[in-house]
Structure 1
Amino acid sequence: MIQISNHVYCDKRLEQLEITNRLLPNPYRETPYLIIKNFFTPELCKHLASLVKKDEDAQAAKVKQESISGIIEADIVTKYRKTNIYTLDDFYSEYYEKQFLKYKPVIEEYFGAVMTLSTDIQVLEYKEGYFYVKHADDSSELVDEDGQTVAFKCVAPERKLTTVLFATSHICNSDDDNDGFSGGELLFNYFYDKEGNPVKIKPQAGDMVVFPSNPYFSHEVLPVQKGYRLTLVQWHDAIW
């Protein structure tokens, strides 16, 4: 392992792989990702979750696949991803944008970047048994015949930073809270603590997690065991 922040280590195999974007934050940060507490208040999170639960206009989220011709298309592949996607209503869109402008300087200072364009906000719902397998937000993972990762092909270079806002909380036993969930952790596949344990984010409602979109930050959403996991996800271009 190689140390990339005060408390997080990275799988050293990444140094040997072909990766277009290797940008990492300052190694003297506590972690290579940033957690912003109370980006949304608990009350707003609870109300948002109740709205989405009542919304019947959901679509199954897609994953991008590259064909032998090199054409990249999005399709529904439930063995890789089981997630519902919604459109954020006007009130929450406006409030989110207001909050984002407030915290934008904090994000830029943390990562030493200047943020430019951002994608639309995706509202992603994970019910019991839903998940998303390992992936990098800006790249496709290339594997050999043995299933070993050999390289990453950058397919979304405009994605430099990823933001994930949690509207429900991770709790040990979701039976105690109708708006919480167990399982469903955000797992960084190549990150470990000093004891070698995988880095898993177990958020509280209102927490925003920010991290670079490159393959060092490959991640997955572990299967939700019980409860309801709701996030607002966005990708941002930036200049380093």
Structure 2
Amino acid sequence: MTQISNKIYCSDFLISFDIETKLLPNPYYDYPFLIIENFLDGNECYEINKKVKEDDDYQKAQIKIQKLITRAKINEKIRKTNIYSLNEKYLEIYTKRFLNYQPIIEEYFKLALTTSTNIQVLEYIKDSFYAMHSDDSSMIYKDNELIGFVPVAKQRKVSSVLFTTSTNKVASDNSFIGGELLFNFLFDKNGNEIKIEPKAGMMLVFLSNPYFTHEVLKVIKGRRISLVQWHNAIIN
């Protein structure tokens, strides 16, 4: 393992790869990702969850695949997720709140955010998941061995995930069992994979490049809801 922050290590093979979009934050930080607690309060999360539960207007998530040209398709063997739109009231609340935190995010990663994608409201219900992937690159395999990455979305420099439901031992309208976000190539000093347990109102911000390859583990019971966005940036 190779140390990339005070408390986090990455798989050694990443260092040997020629990763075109490689970017890492200050190695003297405790963590290479940023957690913003209480981005939304409990009532705001509850209202968003209620709206999603009542809404039957959604689409199945697609994945980017690398062929002669990059295109997207639905493949529920890789990703099983429903996508909703955020209603105008909470879109305004989210946008104002994000602008308040933007200077903190920019300082943490030493960049200047420019454009952002539309917010996707993602719903993972029982047996839903998202297999291992990088937000800006496709994974290249040879004889079932990972040999590198090829960029498919260079405009994604930063990923943000805002959770509005929490992982719990008991599932309810506002909690779920399973569904952790696992960083596949990041570890603690004891070699344990870094696994984020979602908490309603918490935002996780991380760089979109292959060092932060991740997956959403299968939801066993309940509804995992998150607001996801990708951001372009000028690197300082």
Structure 2 residue aligned with 1:30: 30
Structure 2 residue aligned with 1:19: 19
Structure 2 residue aligned with 1:124: 122
Structure 2 residue aligned with 1:108: 106
Whole-Å separation in 2 of the counterparts to 1:32 and 1:228 = 28
Structure 1 residue aligned with 2:152: 155
Whole-Å separation in 2 of the counterparts to 1:132 and 1:18 = 25
Q: 2:162 aligns with which of 165, 168, 174?
A: 165
Which 10-residue stretch deviates more, 15-24 or 161-170?
15-24
Whole-Å separation in 2 of the counterparts to 1:105 and 1:136 = 25
Structure 1 residue aligned with 2:197: 202
Whole-Å separation in 2 of the counterparts to 1:82 and 1:149 = 23
Whole-Å separation in 2 of the counterparts to 1:18 and 1:81 = 27
Q: 1:71 aligns with which of 69, 75, 79?
A: 69
Structure 1 residue 65: deviation in Å?
1.4
Q: 1:225 aligns with which of 195, 220, 225?
A: 220
Structure 1 residue 54: deviation in Å?
0.7
Structure 1 letter corresponding to 2:174: D
Structure 1 residue 71: deviation in Å?
1.3
Give TM-score scaled by structure 2 length.
0.98
Structure 1 residue 204: deviation in Å?
1.1
Structure 1 residue aligned with 2:210: 215
Q: Deviations over 1:40-72 (max 9, x none)?
A: 1111001110110110001100011122xx111
Whole-Å separation in 1 of the counterparts to 2:43 and 2:107 = 29
Identity %: 51
Structure 1 letter corresponding to 2:119: I
User: Within 5 Å, which residues of 2 pair with 1:41-60?
Assistant: 41-60=41-60
Q: Deviations over 1:192-227 (max 9, x none)?
A: 111111100002100000000000000000000111
Structure 2 residue aligned with 1:189: 184
For the residue of structure 2 that corresponds to 1:220, the secondary structure is: strand
Structure 2 residue aligned with 1:238: 233
Which 10-residue stretch deviates more, 160-169 or 8-17?
8-17
Q: Deviations over 1:102-123 (max 9, x none)?
A: 0000101111111111010011
Structure 1 residue aligned with 2:175: 180
- Which 4+ runs in 1 deviate beyond 4 A? none
Q: 2:135 aligns with which of 126, 134, 137?
A: 137
Whole-Å separation in 2 of the counterparts to 1:113 and 1:73 = 29
The answer on whether the counterparts of 1:18 and 1:150 sit within 8 Å (CA) in structure 2 is no
The answer on whether the counterparts of 2:66 and 2:152 sit within 8 Å (CA) in structure 1 is no
Structure 1 residue 15: deviation in Å?
1.1
RMSD: 0.8
Gaps of 5+ in 2: none
